[in-house]
Chains A and B, each alone.
Chain A
Amino acid sequence: MNKDAELVKKLKNPTLKNKAFSELLDVYQERLYWHIRKIVTTHENADDVLQNTFIRIYKSIAKFQEKSTLHTWMYRIAYNESNRFLEKNNKKSYANIDEVSESNLEVLFEDEYFDGDEIQRKLNTIIDGFKEKQKRVFQMKYFDDLSFRQISEILEISESTLKSTYYSAVKIIEQKILL
């Protein structure tokens, strides 16, 4: 039995659940944080979503059917939580028409926890210019260390489409970063 399967078994056991959950946080907190942070841009937003994600994981672990790996299942929850957060925020900004909405990049560059140099700003700008799907695929593959199979399960896109999307993103970055 691998480590994740063991962890799931403990998480499903009411007497071991809390200890196992603490272990789960140790293993996955950072990885899920960065996955979320790239979607919701700022540290403050990521912190909110991370907490909601783990609470959702805690509440729904009993229903986890183990059709996918624990890793993929949690990434999917984090991805959905992040999108839910963005939708909620978009509705808020639509409701307030006087508020001038800032672009993702503006928000990122103004974030207290961003201190990127020129090249890092350039890479962020290139990634921000990608279509939503390409952006997520590149981020999940390049930064989150997910396999194409895992990304395919999270985004519900075929592996072959993912591969072509990813490699075309890499090519664009290579070309633009050298300009």
Chain B
Amino acid sequence: MENQEENINKNNFLKEGLQGDISKRHKDYLGTGIPEGYFAKSKLSILNKIKSESEETQFLQDIAADINQHHKDNLGTTIPEGYFAKSKLSILDKIKEEQKPKKQLVFYMRPQFKYIAAASLVFILSLTVWLQNSNNQDDINNLNIDALAFPDDVLINSLLIEDSEVDAFADATLFHEVVVKAELSEQKMDNLILNSLIVEDSLLDNYIDDELLKTIIL
């Protein structure tokens, strides 16, 4: 019964709130008191604080109004004439630069592709040199055999030559077989190089393989 009455009182306190004498209610219900005349003194104190703060604010506003002068007067620090106008323009220029879309490099100009391209070029050149050397080696081997094996008609002709003309025949045969054929081969080599310059890179390997085999051998 007592608890019920207490709850009703509490509800009344909450409902009535600030409507009644809140200090009396707090004293009655919670036992909390305040010094005599506290709110009157408190009001004066708050108003005084606001007044002093607004004076301080005014003082600070005066300072902010000429911050440059404030620094000059107190610290002796100055700035170049018209600095802030120039600085603003400079900052806005930099911002403009930042906004410009950065140039997109074509994919093959990008650094990672440059390395790949350089590596491919070195590989192709190495392969070309290697192929040439390997074919030359084959040529040399073939050349030795060919050089030793004159064609049949030359051998038959040599049997019909008189002893006094053997030296002249040998010279003429050697000249024809070695020098003339070598020159012809050189010409073919030149043609091959010239053609290879015209042929696209991608076809170069096949071209070299085919042509080199056909032409280099004496």
Contacts and interface: CB of A to CB of B under 8 A. Distances in A.
Interface of A: 18, 21-22, 25-26, 29-31, 33-34, 37-38, 43, 47, 50-51, 54-55, 58-59, 108, 111, 113-117, 120-121, 123-124, 143, 145
Contacts of B79: 33, 43, 113
Nearest to B78: A113
A121 B76 contact: yes
B77 A59 contact: no
B90 A51 contact: yes
Interface in B17-70: 60, 63-64, 67-68, 70
B87 interface: yes
Interface of B: 60, 63-64, 67-68, 70-71, 73-80, 83-84, 87-88, 90-92, 94-95, 98
Contacts of B92: 21-22, 25
Contacts of B68: 30, 34
B76 A116 contact: yes
Contacts, number: 81
B94 A120 contact: no
Nearest to B97: A55
B87 A143 contact: no
Given A26-B88, A50-B91, 9 more contacts: A25-B92, A29-B88, A34-B71, A55-B98, A58-B98, A113-B79, A114-B77, A114-B78, A120-B75
Contacts of A116: 75-77
B80 to A, nearest CB: 7
A143 B98 contact: no
A143 to B, nearest CB: 7
22 contacts: A22-B88, A31-B67, A33-B79, A33-B87, A34-B68, A37-B77, A43-B77, A43-B79, A43-B80, A47-B87, A51-B94, A108-B77, A111-B77, A113-B79, A113-B80, A116-B75, A120-B75, A123-B74, A143-B67, A143-B71, A143-B74, A145-B60
Contacts of A25: 88, 91-92
Given A25-B88, A33-B84, A145-B64, A117 B76 contact: yes
Contacts of A47: 83, 87
- Provide the main secondary structure of the chain B interface: helix
A57 to B, nearest CB: 10
A31 B88 CA distance: 13
Contact of A59 (B71, B87, B90, B98): B98
Contact of A120 (B64, B74, B84): B74
Q: Which of A18, A34, A108 has the most CB of B within 10 A?
A: A34
Contacts of A111: 77
Ranked 7 nearest A-B pairs via Cβ: A116-B76, A120-B76, A113-B78, A54-B91, A145-B60, A25-B88, A145-B64
A114 B76 contact: yes
A123 B98 contact: no
Nearest to A113: B78
Contacts of B60: 145
B90 to A, nearest CB: 7
A145 B70 CA distance: 11
Given A29-B84, A30-B67, A34-B67, A55 B75 contact: no
A151 B169 CA distance: 111
Given A30-B68, A50-B87, A55 B76 contact: no
Contacts of B95: 18, 21, 54-55, 58
Nearest to A121: B76
A25 B78 CA distance: 20
B167 to A, nearest CB: 85
